[in-house]
Amino acid sequence: MPISPTALAPTALTGDPRRRSTHARRPLVLLALGIGVLATALVSLMLGSNLISATAVLAGLFDPAQDVASVVWGSRVPRTVLGLLVGVCLGVAGAMMQGQTRNPLADPGLFGVSAGASFAVVIGVYVLGTSSVLTTLWLALAGATVASVVVFSVAALGRGLSSPVPLAIAGAAVSSLLVALTSFLVLSDETTLAAYRIWVVGSLSGRSLAGVDAALLFAGVGMVFAAANIRSLNNLALGTELAHGLGENLLRARLVGLAGITLLTASAVAISGPIGFVGLTAPHIARRLVGGDHHWLLPASGLVGAVVLLVCDVIGRLIGGNAEVSVGVVLTVVGGIVFIAIVRRGKMATL
Amino acid sequence: MKILPSLRRSAALLLIPALALVGLAGCSTPSSPGSAAVADSVASGPWSYTDDTGKMVTLDQRPEKVASYADYALGLLSYGIDPVAIFGRTDVASDPRFASYDIENTAIVGNSYGEIDLEALTEAAPELIVTGIYPTDREGTLDLAGPLYAFADAEQQAQIEKIAPVVAIEIGGKGSDVIASMNRLAESLGASEQTVAAAKAKYDTAAADLTAAAQETDLEVTQLYADADGLYVAKPNDEPELELYESLGVDFTDRNPDGYYYWDIYSWENAGQVMSGDVLLVNVEGYQQSDLLMQATFASDPALQAGQIHSWNGAALDYASQAAHMTELAEILRSSKKL
């Protein structure tokens, strides 16, 4: 029996009613997430391991002369700004990575970025004997970039880049090699181990805004690549062949995507050390809220990432007494539970 | 000063990991620690020694070939007892503390915590192996089920005990007790009374000079380790070397004597709480002057601003090492001013 085109049209164009309501509320969800980020940032400015009053924080914020012991401008402000930046970068990079690989378990570190940064930082401590925040940042940026280029070259030499599989395998191989070399250095030298252990946990403590320009530049350029990759990500979600059929230039789609993921992750890793779970979980939460269209998913994932990271950092500041618990540790606990909950509910969007 | 176990401990406190320590069956029987050593000065006769954990080691004759962890090797070397093998927490060959000793013919069998080359150690054929043990709390509790200091785990310790019997010096409580324990072992291994007395004379002179310097200057000294996570201030009642100097009259920052064991940990936000010191002794590992100046919440520290900051490495607890270290500290005090 022939189906008339008109009979098909309404559902084909608008989808089912539930999806339509998701579509309609997407701007509202983004707005709410934006407000959530601002609220979290405010909380992050107010709370810390040094329990100063809200009035003291505000006084210090607007008049640095009243900022007792530089707690506000020396600690709270940089942490909040950097936490937002790292969270957004990891959230966006995670969503891109899951879109590129069509794998819901893909993490932004999959292409060797974190392993490369770690190795460079360890080399820095071992050879240069420095663990200062700024040197570490530069080394991490350099290591992440070099590792990504190597991964991409290895993948390009092999079966090509149309499928994400060679990239993922090359990433895993290069990561394993770098992790082995890192372990070798770390095990052979106690001082290196001590510095590495502090860095690898992932923390926003002791960072300042001075000198992070390079990381900001990486993040900014990464965002441009991410925006340029949105259409391709939507096409790739249909499968490599269908995307190709839709006129997608696969090589360009992969290159732009890889560049975006690398720059965003490198920026985050350089600032805070390799923080897990944000890049993995934020896209899943965002997908629930705004659906799978990357026009909405990328910003939503970035905002969710920022909220998650800052909230976990604040928790870590409050549960350590005079000291603090690194955000990386809190995230491993909280993020792990959240991720299990997502998987258990079985509604993980298929990519 | 031990960095590693304390930081591990602080991490453990925060993470509360279920660390199942494998018990070492029959490794040592706790009895009264510090019981009188039965040292036979006749080299040919049977030799026995009771270490600080209460473990008694009996050998047919006094051991001539001794392997030791770096810190106690320094003590032995100062008494003319040359170890056949040394294992350290950091690179032994470049460790400045060994600069005045000839260790050309000594096998270096470990340069990183717990990384001990068992084959090389076996080849050195020690008859006795010396290491340490740190108490786990202020009361001096010794965890005899866990590995001794310098060993990676109970399994490694069991393998090392197959090479030669292991004795441990307790690094806790009073610094003078630790030195006494070192001396007791050295004398048992053949150091003559005159040698020890000569070392003690130099030590006493340096100690008296440190006391004088502390009285002249009346400064507060803060000994700390710092990294991106924050400041770790060593506690004079828990760290034997600091305890020793404090007993000689040096005033150390100790804001929270009843708090956590060994270190007081401050996040950078709370660094302002520990800016009372006139002199900063910063651990050679971790942040140094330039790194500290970049931490906005600590940059205004008066001692840091005045440049009264010195890299500081824990010295071994024996007469010779401490005499040198106390002389150094006295010089630092005299070259600093009250802020």
The residue ranges of every structural domain in chain A are 30-43+77-344
- Whether A13 shows a pLDDT value over 90: the answer reads no
Task: Give the CA angle between residues B292, B222, B282 to the nearest 5°.
Answer: 45
Residue of chain A whose alpha carbon sits nearest to that of B263 = A323
pLDDT tens-digit series, residues A235-246:
999 888 888 888
CB contact under 8 A, B268 and A75: yes
Residue of chain A whose alpha carbon sits nearest to that of B300 = A69
Residue that wins the pLDDT comparison between B4 and B293? B293
Rounded to whole angstroms, how far apart are CA atoms A66 and B261?
A: 35
Rounded to whole angstroms, how far apart are CA atoms B246 and B222?
A: 12
- Residue A183 touches chain B, beta carbons under 8 Å: no
* Cβ-based neighbour number of residue B216 at 10 Å: 11
- Whether A4 shows a pLDDT value over 60: the answer reads no
Task: Give the one of A208, A325, A329 whose C-beta lies nearest to B294's C-beta.
Answer: A208
- Whether A127 shows a pLDDT value over 60: the answer reads yes
Rounded to whole angstroms, how far apart are CA atoms B308 and B98?
A: 27
Report how far apart, in Å, the C-alpha atoms of A178 and of each of A11, A117, B84 are: 51, 9, 37
- Return the pLDDT at A20: 60
- Return the pLDDT at A19: 60
Rounded to whole angstroms, how far apart are CA atoms A207 and A198?
A: 13
What's the pLDDT band for A173 if we cut at 50, 70, 90? very high
Residues shown for chain B: 339
CB contact under 8 A, B230 and A74: no
A109 CA to chain B: closest CA distance, Å? 23
CB neighbours of B217 closer than 8 A, spacing ≥ 6? B333, B334, B336, B337, B338
- Return the pLDDT at A18: 55
Which residues in chain B are closer than 8 Å to A68, comparing Cβ atoms?
A: 272
CB contact under 8 A, A75 and B227: no
Burial state string for B15-27 with b = 16 or more CB within 10 A and e = fewer than 16: eeeeeeeeebeeb
Contact B57, B128 (CB under 8 A): yes
Secondary-structure breakdown of chain B: helix, strand, coil percentages, each rounded to the nearest 5? 35, 20, 45
What's the pLDDT band for A1 if we cut at 50, 70, 90? very low
What's the pLDDT band for A17 if we cut at 50, 70, 90? low
Q: Give me the residue label for tokens 């030669």.
A: B164
Q: Give me the residue label for tokens 């000291």.
A: A323
- Candidates A191, A125, A124, A136; CA nearest to B284 is A191
- Residue A191 touches chain B, beta carbons under 8 Å: yes
Domain B199-334: which topology?
A: Rossmann fold (3.40.50)
Both structure tokens of A274: 């390799």
Q: Within 13 Å of residue A55, how many CA atoms lie on the same side as its CB?
A: 0
- Return the pLDDT at A160: 66
- Residue A208 touches chain B, beta carbons under 8 Å: yes
Provide the residue type at A260 as one letter. G
In chain B, CATH 3.40.50.1980 sits at: 4-191, 199-334
Rounded to whole angstroms, how far apart are CA atoms B314 and B321?
A: 10
**Looking at residues B227-240, what average pLDDT do you find?**
93
**Looking at residues A342-349, what average pLDDT do you find?**
66
Contact A294, A234 (CB under 8 A): yes
- Return the pLDDT at A166: 84
Helix (H) or strand (E) holding B6: helix B4-15
Both structure tokens of B312: 């500081």
Window 137-156 of A: residues touching B by CB (8 A cutoff) are none
CB contact under 8 A, B7 and A323: no
CB contact under 8 A, A317 and B290: no
Rounded to whole angstroms, how far apart are CA atoms A325 and A314?
A: 9
- Return the pLDDT at A68: 81
* Cβ-based neighbour number of residue A173 at 10 Å: 15
pLDDT tens-digit series, residues B249-259:
999 999 988 88
Cα B203 off chain centre by: 17
Which residues in chain B are closer than 8 Å to A207, comparing Cβ atoms?
A: 228
CB contact under 8 A, A324 and B113: no
Contact B285, B225 (CB under 8 A): yes
**Looking at residues B99-115, what average pLDDT do you find?**
93
DSSP strand pairing (B230-234 vs B166-170): unpaired
Provide the residue type at B217 as one letter. T
Which residues in chain A are closer than 8 Å to B115, comparing Cβ atoms?
A: 187-188
- Whether A93 shows a pLDDT value over 50: the answer reads yes
CB contact under 8 A, B268 and A74: yes
CB contact under 8 A, A323 and B112: no
Torsion over CA of A128, A134, A138 and A144, rounded to 10 degrees?
A: 100
pLDDT tens-digit series, residues B23-53:
333 333 333 333 333 344 445 689 999 999 9
Report if pTM > 0.90. no
- Whether A294 shows a pLDDT value over 60: the answer reads yes
* Cβ-based neighbour number of residue B205 at 10 Å: 13
Residue of chain B whose alpha carbon sits nearest to that of A317 = B267
Both structure tokens of A120: 């460079």
Testing the interface with A: which of B8, B9, B113, B270 to mutate, by most A Cβ within 10 A?
B270
B87 CA to chain A: closest CA distance, Å? 13
Window 264-293 of A: residues touching B by CB (8 A cutoff) are none
Task: Give the one of A187, A194, A205 whose C-beta lies nearest to B230's C-beta.
Answer: A205
Rounded to whole angstroms, how far apart are CA atoms A164 and B123?
A: 52
Percent of chain B topping pLDDT 90: 79
Q: Give me the residue label for tokens 């600080």.
A: B52
- Return the pLDDT at B308: 97
Q: Within 13 Å of residue A330, how many CA atoms lie on the same side as its CB?
A: 19
Three-state secondary structure readout of chain A = CCCCHHHHHHHHHHCCHHHHHHHHHHHHHHHHHHHHHHHHHHHHHHCCCCCCCHHHHHHHHHCHHHCHHHHHHHHHHHHHHHHHHHHHHHHHHHHHHHHHHCCCCCCHHHHCHHHHHHHHHHHHHHHHCCCCHHHHHHHHHHHHHHHHHHHHHHHHHCCCCCCHHHHHHHHHHHHHHHHHHHHHHHHHCHHHHHHHHHHHHCCCCCCCCCCCHHHHHHHHHHHHHHHHCHHHHHHHCCCHHHHHHCCCCHHHHHHHHHHHHHHHHHHHHHHHCCCCCHHHHHHHHHHHHHCCCHHHHHHHHHHHHHHHHHHHHHHHHHCCCCCCCCHHHHHHHHHHHHHHHHHHCCCCCCC
Task: Please count the helices (runs of H) and the strands (runs of E) in chain B.
Answer: 10, 13
Which residues in chain A are closer than 8 Å to B273, comparing Cβ atoms?
A: 322
**CATH code, A30-43+77-344:** 1.10.3470.10
- Return the pLDDT at A343: 76
Helix (H) or strand (E) holding B226: strand B220-227
- Candidates A82, A61, A84; CA nearest to A73 is A61
Residue of chain B whose alpha carbon sits nearest to that of A49 = B269
pLDDT tens-digit series, residues A129-166:
777 778 888 999 999 999 988 988 888 887 666 777 88
Residue that wins the pLDDT comparison between B15 and B103? B103
A105 CA to chain B: closest CA distance, Å? 26
**CATH class of residue range B4-191:** alpha beta
- Whether B13 shows a pLDDT value over 90: the answer reads no
